[in-house]
Amino acid sequence: DELGPCIAESENIRSLSLSGNRIGNAGVAALVQELFTNVVLVSLDLARNQISDEGAMSVADFAKVSISLTDIDLSNNEIASLGASAFSSALVHSQLLAQLNLSANLLGDDGVEALARGLSASKSIKSLALRENHIGGRGFSALAEALETNASLTRLDMHGNELDAAGARALVHGLFHNKTLTSIDVGANHTLDANAVAELSHVLRSTFEIHSLRVYR
């Protein structure tokens, strides 16, 4: 309760890391309420704070209107599809949000489908990390479709999910049509078969844009 007002009034704090503090949804809501008046904060790290959809929606609302915030880390929390939907809207409305880390949450296919709708329209996002979110073929297919129209993303981290053959084929199609992505990590997707790995590896030889592609099993 005491930290928020101090940050709101500060003209010097550009990076705030509160990871691993068990802040929870109520704590995040109180913090964000104070941050709405902050005009210099660039980076906000709230990883490992027992934050679920409610807290994620608070942060997403702030991201929509902030005139300075570019980087958000909400990894290792308990965010599911409703929180992902909130960030989908933030991706559309924010002109600054460049890095978003939602790794190790509970997004699943439903959450990623929602997030993909915002990704397709975002003009600012450059790095999106969604590792270890139980994302299967349906979620990968939604992301692949978003990649066909997104013209800002350069890095996508999908490590440790559940990519299957159908999702891999959709991803290959999306990568061929995307002109900005240079790095993608789909390592440790243990449902990925050898044929799908071969198709993804072929992308690296077929496009000049992608410089880093991790597909190890």
In this prediction the pTM is 0.92
Q: Is the pLDDT confidence value at 209 over 70?
A: no
Q: Which helix (H) or strand (E) holds 116?
A: helix 108-121
Residue 199: per-residue pLDDT? 73
From the number of C-beta atoms within 10 Å of its C-beta (0-12, 13-18, 19+), residue 208 rates as: exposed
Three-state SS at 44: strand
Residues 104-123: tens digit of each pLDDT: 999 999 999 999 999 999 99
Residues 153-178: tens digit of each pLDDT: 999 999 999 998 889 889 988 988 99
Q: Is the pLDDT confidence value at 124 over 90?
A: yes
Q: Is the pLDDT confidence value at 2 over 80?
A: no
- Give mean pLDDT, residues 93-98: 97
Residue 206: per-residue pLDDT? 65
Residue 156: per-residue pLDDT? 96
Tokens of 168: 């891999």
Can you list the alpha helix ranges (DSSP code H) found in 106-154?
108-121, 137-147
Q: Is the pLDDT confidence value at 144 over 90?
A: yes
Tokens of 54: 């409610």
Q: CA–CA separation, 41 vs 94, rounded Å?
A: 14
